[in-house]
Structure 1
Amino acid sequence: MNTSPIHEKPATTPERLDFYRRLDEKDLAPLWETLATLVTPQPRTACVPAHWQYDRLRGLLMEAGELITAHEAERRVLVLENPGIRGRSQITNSLYAGLQLILPGEIAASHRHAACALRFIIEGNGAYTAVDGERVSMHPGDFIITPSWTFHDHGNTGDEPVVWLDGLDVPIVNLFDTSFAEKYADEVQPVVRAEDDATALYGTNMLPFGYEVRGHNSPLFAYRYEPSRAALAHLAQRGAPHPVHAFKLQYANPATGGYPMPTIGAYLQLLPAGFDGASYRSTDATVFAVAEGSGYSVIDGRRFDWTHRDAFVVPSWVSVSHHAPQGEAVLFSFSDRPAQQALGLWREQGRAA
């Protein structure tokens, strides 16, 4: 691939500077002055690789639980801000991520918004989430989605704190200036379907990673960890690991085979003991959460050692390789790949990609 700029900025002269000044007075600008930064030969992101160690953050989460109630905060979340774009409440240029805490007896009031959301449960049992009147319990490793413009609330009827990783497409929604939000009339929406009535919906609902997918609204919003983990183990028994991804599955909309959300894809991958992954990069910046085990990833030449419950991010078009030298590890991840593929923008590069 030719990575040289498609245009070199022209030399500056007094006459041109005067012309640019007069253009500016009429809200105009010369394209040739900025073309090289607008149309780049490869992605150029301000985002950087970053790693959040859960054991170091948990104390701050619990402190937040003492300082502010879920009612006051609306959602008690510590946002994972990418160090390269601090102050924007974003983990990548297209995605938001944060760690949400709900304490025993608390309720996070019902609301809805244009952005779609996912929850990956990190710690604790006894909490639930409700989406348009359907309530399901939350357990570590579960993957739960909130489709766009659906009322949702959370509660903790147990006796221990519950923490999950939130992922939303808020930056995408705001890019198009299409943010809408609304509070429900009451703190909690009425339950129209109990969890037992919906049990038949829950299952693996996963596809081999890389399967061509299309589709939007999913009738399923809770994907349990146990059957998903079993599907990975079954995949691992059927052959050798992929040199880059090891054993990887993507969560699927059971009605269409497409992604669970139109803008966010989610994945689960098993790194077998001793796995030494090859380098890979793609245009979808990816957020990872460690569901099991420990290991390390080399991102843009830097080594990040991670363990259970940690989170880390790989920016767009930055090389990454995953390694599990001591034992099996399982990584959950999400990215904006569905949106990029729908727009014909997504690319990947790497060994046997």
Structure 2
Amino acid sequence: MNAPLPTAQLRQQLYRDMDPHNLTPLWEVLHALVPPQPRTPCVPAFWRYDEVRPYLMRAGEVITAEEAVRRVLILENPKLRGQSAVTQSLYAGLQLILPGEVAPSHRHTQSALRFIVEGSGAYTAVDGERTTMRPGDFIITPSWTWHDHGHEARDPVVWLDGLDIPMIRFFDAGFAQNDTSKSQQVTRTEGTSFARYGHNMAPVRGAAPHGRTSPIFSYPYERSREALERLERDAPLDAWDGTKLRYVNPITGGWPMPTIGTFLQKLPAGFAGQGSRQTDGAVYSVVEGEGEVTVSAGEQEWRCAFGPRDHFVVPSWHTARFSSEKGCVLFSFSDRPVHEALGIHHEERLS
């Protein structure tokens, strides 16, 4: 009588026999699927604007905004090259528009934000209303709204694009449509949306025009920075974030976009912050001033000094610690609204 086969061999034979039926054993991958803490493949990354800008200007020489549809250099996470992603759920890129150009009208299910980095006088139009772009402004393109960009001033304008492209791709829910005309017809005076919703008031009748997305699609930097300065003078300083505010939807008080959260913070001169980490990875744009961020995960540590118009990403569950000798202002965006909607957001503020 033959001796029974060792358990290890029986397991391997089981795996081989069931493989043609598209079956695989959970116990071989369980610890990877349900890890003791988040394990992102992403790493911190830093894009110094002085190094990136020449490539943007060269792109302006070799392709027009109309040919490109959107002339953008994608900020790719070093561990996600080829995936057009800065984190596993978010896309980021720097878009250039030159005087006299129009980036043609289209719409898509992906939600987008624009944060103006350099230059003034360009515009973006959303569903018949234009808003002029100025440095530090935060502008929203809601899902499935017609939008185009144009430039009628003199100097190049650059902005940071943030979209939920990888997230929509994960759900296989991406649709897009090109408009029949290059620029959409303007049907409302600039500032109409802000007049209706931007003064702690709202129309008596009528639903919000963009569903769960804020009816204000332009948040001027001048007003946002004023709020930060006032709080820096009159309110206690947060040991981790300095003075940090989130942008809100004035109708709901919630996030201005259903998939992307946006923030503005000011670190006062001499700030030396404590470290914190959260499950939402965040992309930062330096609006003004200088500082330093130290990012760590396990035994690895990254340290970057930053200045105006630089960009960097802090991945999920990486500890970030900020400091600034002269003071600075930072804009950031993350996928926190989705984490909170799913009940999976987690944060640790370390001391």
Match of 2:57, as an amino acid? M
- Count residues with an aligned counterpart: 332
- Is 1:276 aligned to residue 275 of structure 2? no
Identity of aligned residues (%): 56
SS in 2 for 1:313: strand
1:22 pairs, out of 2, 8, 17, with 17
- Is 1:345 aligned to residue 341 of structure 2? no
1:123 pairs, out of 104, 112, 118, with 118
SS in 2 for 1:190: coil
Q: What is the rounded CA distance, in whole Å, between the counterparts of 1:171 and 1:129 in structure 2?
A: 23
Q: Could you tell me the TM-score, scaled by structure 2's length?
A: 0.92
RMSD of the alignment, in Å? Answer: 1.6
Match of 1:312, as an amino acid? F
SS in 2 for 1:194: coil
1:145 pairs, out of 119, 135, 140, with 140
- Counterpart contact for 2:99–2:155, Cα < 8 Å: yes
> Which consecutive unaligned segments of at least 5 residues does structure 2 have?
1-5, 201-210
- Counterpart contact for 2:197–2:215, Cα < 8 Å: no
Match of 2:117, as an amino acid? I
Q: What is the rounded CA distance, in whole Å, between the counterparts of 1:189 and 1:55 in structure 2?
A: 34
Q: What is the rounded CA distance, in whole Å, between the counterparts of 1:184 and 1:46 in structure 2?
A: 37
5 Å matches for 1:1-353? 13-198=8-193, 200=195, 216-300=212-296, 301-325=301-325, 327-351=326-350
Moved over 6 A (4+): none
Q: Name the stretch that deviates more: 187-196 or 307-316.
A: 187-196
SS in 2 for 1:83: coil
Match of 2:114, as an amino acid? R
Deviation at 1:265, TM superposition (A): 0.5
Match of 1:322, as an amino acid? F
Q: What is the rounded CA distance, in whole Å, between the counterparts of 2:193 and 2:240 in structure 1?
A: 36
SS in 2 for 1:235: helix
Q: What is the rounded CA distance, in whole Å, between the counterparts of 1:66 and 1:98 in structure 2?
A: 18
Deviation at 1:201, TM superposition (A): 5.0
Q: Could you tell me the TM-score, scaled by structure 1's length?
A: 0.91
Deviation at 1:216, TM superposition (A): 2.2
SS in 2 for 1:85: coil
- Higher Cα Rg: structure 1 or 2? 2
Q: What is the rounded CA distance, in whole Å, between the counterparts of 1:199 and 1:23 in structure 2?
A: 61
> Which consecutive unaligned segments of at least 5 residues does structure 1 have?
1-10, 206-214
SS in 1 for 2:32: helix
* Structure 1 partner of 2:208: none
Deviation track 1:156-175 (CA, whole Å, cap 9, x = no partner) reads 01111100000000111111
Q: What is the rounded CA distance, in whole Å, between the counterparts of 1:133 and 1:309 in structure 2?
A: 30
SS in 1 for 2:150: strand
- Counterpart contact for 1:296–1:303, Cα < 8 Å: yes
- Counterpart contact for 1:202–1:224, Cα < 8 Å: no
Deviation track 1:214-237 (CA, whole Å, cap 9, x = no partner) reads x92211000000010000001111
